[in-house]
Amino acid sequence: MEEGSILGGALVTFVAGLLSAFSPNYISLLILRGLAGAGLGSGHVFFSWFMEFVPPSNRGKWMVVFSTFWTFGSVSEAALAWIVMPILTWRWLLALSAIPAFVLLIFIVFMPESPRYLCTKGRITDAHNILDKIAQFNQTSLPSGNLTSDGTNDLDEEFSTSEETPLLSSARKRTTVRKSGFSSFLMLFSPRFFKTTILLWVLYFGNSFVYYGIVLLASELSGSQSKCSSSILLSENVQDASVYINVFITSFAELPGLLTAALLVDRVGRKLSMTIMFIFVCIFLLPLVTLQSNILLTALLSGARMFSMGTFIIANIFAPEIYPTSMRSTGAGVAYAVGRIGGMVCPLVAVGLVTSCHQTAAILLLEALIVLSVVVILLIPFETKGKELVNTIDGVSNSKQVLVVA
Q: What is the mean pLDDT of the chain?
A: 75
Question: To which H or E segment does residue 238 belong?
Answer: helix 230-239
**Which 3 state secondary structure label does DSSP give 382?**
coil
Altogether, the residues listed in the chain come to a count of 406
Name the pLDDT band for 222 (thresholds 50, 70, 90). low
Nearest-angstrom CA–CA distance, 327 and 345 = 28
Name the pLDDT band for 276 (thresholds 50, 70, 90). very high
pLDDT score recorded for residue 159: 32
pLDDT score recorded for residue 189: 80
Nearest-angstrom CA–CA distance, 102 and 287 = 42
* Cβ atoms < 10 Å from Cβ of 240: 16
End-to-end CA distance of the chain: 18
What sign has the CA pseudo-torsion 172, 178, 184, 188? negative
pLDDT score recorded for residue 399: 47
pTM of the model: 0.69
CB 105 within 8 A of CB 114: no
**Which 3 state secondary structure label does DSSP give 392?**
coil
What sign has the CA pseudo-torsion 320, 101, 250, 215? negative
pLDDT at 119 over 60: yes
Nearest-angstrom CA–CA distance, 288 and 255 = 22
Nearest-angstrom CA–CA distance, 243 and 239 = 9
Name the pLDDT band for 145 (thresholds 50, 70, 90). low
**Contacting residues for 401 by C-beta, under 8 A, at least 6 apart:** 382
pLDDT tens sequence across 158-217: 333 333 334 444 434 333 333 443 477 777 787 788 888 899 999 999 998 998 888 887
Q: Which of 73, 78, 133 is nearest to 103 (CA)?
A: 73
pLDDT score recorded for residue 255: 85
CB 336 within 8 A of CB 41: yes
Report, in angstroms and rounded to the nearest whole number, the Rg of the chain calculated over CA atoms: 23
DSSP 140: -
Nearest-angstrom CA–CA distance, 281 and 309 = 10
CB 350 within 8 A of CB 214: no
pLDDT score recorded for residue 221: 65
- Mean pLDDT of the 40-67 span: 75
φ/ψ region of 192 (left if φ > 0, alpha if ψ in -120 to 50, else beta) reads alpha
The domains of the chain are located at 3-111+186-393
Q: HSE (CB half, 13 Å, CA atoms) of 162?
A: 6
DSSP 147: E
CB 244 within 8 A of CB 82: yes
Question: To which H or E segment does residue 145 belong?
Answer: strand 145-147
φ/ψ region of 151 (left if φ > 0, alpha if ψ in -120 to 50, else beta) reads left
CB 75 within 8 A of CB 95: no
pLDDT at 237 over 70: no
| Helix, strand, coil share (%) of the chain residues, nearest 5 | 70, 0, 30
Q: Which residue has the higher pLDDT, 292 or 196?
A: 196
Nearest-angstrom CA–CA distance, 104 and 252 = 23
Nearest-angstrom CA–CA distance, 266 and 271 = 11
**Contacting residues for 21 by C-beta, under 8 A, at least 6 apart:** 91, 92, 94, 95, 98
**Contacting residues for 190 by C-beta, under 8 A, at least 6 apart:** 182
CB 48 within 8 A of CB 31: no
pLDDT score recorded for residue 86: 79
CATH number for the domain whose boundaries are 3-111+186-393 = 1.20.1250.20
Q: Which of 240, 225, 306, 217 is nearest to 81 (CA)?
A: 240
Nearest-angstrom CA–CA distance, 48 and 53 = 9
